[in-house]
Amino acid sequence: MEIKAKKVSDSAIIMTELVLPNDTNVFGNLMGGRLMYWMDIAAALAAGKHCNAPVVTASVDNISFEAPIKLGNVVHIEAKVTRAFNSSMEVHLNVWGEDHTHQYKYKSNEAYYTFVALDPNRKPRPVPQLVVETDEERKLFEGALRRRQIRLILGGKMKPDDATELKALFGITK
């Protein structure tokens, strides 16, 4: 049975949360761990929607904290699948803080999560391929293979010599 490819927009998620006192540290900022928890949920929703199956987090990388989100601000987490491999999917997240009092929205955070789709026996299952439509989607799609190779090397699952995309990026021909 052939699995029909899906567009990025078919599984994009925007999750919104309000930063309450229990979510903050002693400086009145959203705790990083709480934000990563919310990001994991948003990313899992996007991955699960893409493959229409249960998913588990395989890796989290490149979390960049740019600006704190204060108590009382709103958090918007945008999650979208950037590439589908065999049974795994990379999900890119952008996090925005919104200050309603001062009427502005600002970028707070960005990250990549990887998920694996599971069958009813909790074994990896194939996922639909991804159809990219915009320049931004294409850029993220093309970079996903390099990011995947870095994750596999760091995780000890790939030898650096086998990272063809990374070698091509740096002009290494050996």
Q: What is the mean pLDDT of each run of 10 residues along the chain (174 residues)?
A: 89 98 97 97 98 96 89 98 97 97 95 97 97 97 91 82 73 68
pTM above 0.75, yes or no: yes
User: Domain of 35?
Assistant: 6-132
In a domain, 47, yes or no: yes
In a domain? residue 143:
no
DSSP single-letter state for residue 162: G
Q: Rounded distance, CA 38 to CA 94, Å? A: 12
Tally of structural domains, the chain? 1
100: Cβ–Cβ under 8 A, 6 or more apart, which residues?
72, 73, 74
Residue 174: what pLDDT?
A: 63
Q: Count CA within 13 A, CB hemisphere, residue 54.
A: 8
In a domain, 142, yes or no: no
**Spatial separation of the C-alpha atoms in residues 22 and 24, rounded to whole Å:** 6
Q: What is the CATH number of the domain that holds 21?
A: 3.10.129.10
Residue 165 lies in a domain: no
Secondary structure of residue 170 in the 3-state scheme = coil
Q: For residue 22, tell me if it sits in a domain.
A: yes
Confirm whether 88 is domain-assigned.
yes
Q: Do the domain assignments include residue 159?
A: no
Q: What is the pLDDT of residue 117?
A: 98
The predicted pLDDT at position 17 comes to 98
For residue 64, give the H/E element and its range: strand 55-65
The two tokens of residue 164 are: 């063809």
Q: How much is the pLDDT for 27?
A: 97
For residues 42 and 148, give the distance between their C-alpha atoms in angstroms, rounded to a whole number: 20
Amino acid letter at 162? D
Q: Please tell me what DSSP assigns to residue 20.
A: -
Q: Which residues pair with 20 in a beta bridge?
A: none
Q: How far out from the chain centre does Cα 69 lie? A: 19
DSSP 8-class letter at 86: S
